[in-house]
Amino acid sequence: MRIWAKIFKDTRLLRDTVVEDNSDETRTHKVFRALESICYEFDLGKPIWLDATVKEFQRHAKTRFTQDNFIEHIDFDFLEFQVIEED
C-alpha cells in the first residue's frame, strides 16, 4: 500500500510525502500507521477522524484533514491523505 500526503495553503502545495507499507497488516492498521508516520515527518499532532472524514475516505480512498480535525492550531489549510496504490 502506498499513501500520498500533501499539505496545502492558499491552493498551493507546501509539502508532500509518500509512505509505503508492504506488511501483512489489515488495511486499517496500514492507514493508521501511515498517518502516524506522516504526522511525525511533518511534525504535526495526529488529526481526529471525524465521521465526515471517515465516510469520505471509505468512499474515495482520499480525505482532507482541516483545522476541525486537529486539536492544536495548524498553519495550513488542509492535509490531504490519499491511497495511491493498494496491495
Series of mean pLDDT values for 10-residue runs along the chain (87 residues)? 97 97 95 97 97 97 97 97 93
User: What is the predicted pLDDT for the residue at 87?
Assistant: 81
User: What is the predicted pLDDT for the residue at 23?
Assistant: 94
Q: Is 74 helix (H, G, I), strand (E, B) or coil?
A: coil
Q: Which amino acid is at 34?
A: A
- Total-model pTM: 0.93
Q: Which helix (H) or strand (E) holds 21?
A: none
58: domain range? 2-85
Specify the number of domains making up the chain. 1
Give the DSSP letter of residue 72.
Answer: S
